[in-house]
Amino acid sequence: MLLIVGLGNPGTEYARNRHNIGFMAVDEIARRHGFSSWRVRNQGLAAEGEIAGERVMLLKPQTYMNKSGACVGPTARFFKIPPGDVIVLHDELDLAPGKVRVKTGGGAAGHNGLRSIAELFSNDTRRVRLGIGHPGDKDRVAGYVLSDFAKAEQTWLEPLIDAVGQAAPLLIKRDDAGFASRVALLTQPPKPKKPKPGETAPRTDGDT
């Protein structure tokens, strides 16, 4: 069994926060791949299903972000899931909005959810870093991650969440590079259509 953890804070007041992009991603994985209903387990909400022929548990810790490890650790240990089979989806300030990177282990870089998992379980989990961008000033970070995505950000957020759901089988197959490439491909903006032979090309602002 693999364990896919989405990080966030519980409650409707946090549901659309930038910090909750991990919750959004696992919700889409559950929906797209027909997982069971969410149920309470080890201070979290869990759903079970199958992706790419492997049994998978999705987990949303309900302990608040800075205590995520109190949910992830007991769940992984109970099911005897090693750190390398735990995938954590989380918001990443140091990536441009809509960008995705996958890595194993490393420092928490100030992310309280990752820090808690490292302290209470392991630092060797696989991490899916979902870029939300940086507010530009470290003093603004707390307010930034705990505020809702702006309406204009939906243009990249919704395609990103959808792409993560579509590409999830590659994560299960441990093709992390393939997963990141697939998400990047799915989230590319559509290219402008070339005029057919005999058609006039679209006007530009410089035309007279």
Contacts of 75 (CB under 8 A, 6+ apart): 3, 41, 42, 44, 46, 57, 59, 81
Q: How many CB atoms lie within 10 A of CB 15?
A: 14
Q: How far apart are CA 101 and CA 26, in angstroms?
A: 16
User: Which two structure tokens, joined as six digits, stand for 52?
Assistant: 């790419």
Active-site annotation holder among 19, 33, 90, 111: 19
- The DSSP code sequence of 133-154 is ---SSGGGHHHHHTSBPPGGGH
19 as an active site residue: the answer is yes
8 Å CB contact between 166 and 186: yes
Q: How far apart are CA 10 and CA 158, in angstroms?
A: 20
Catalytic residues: 19
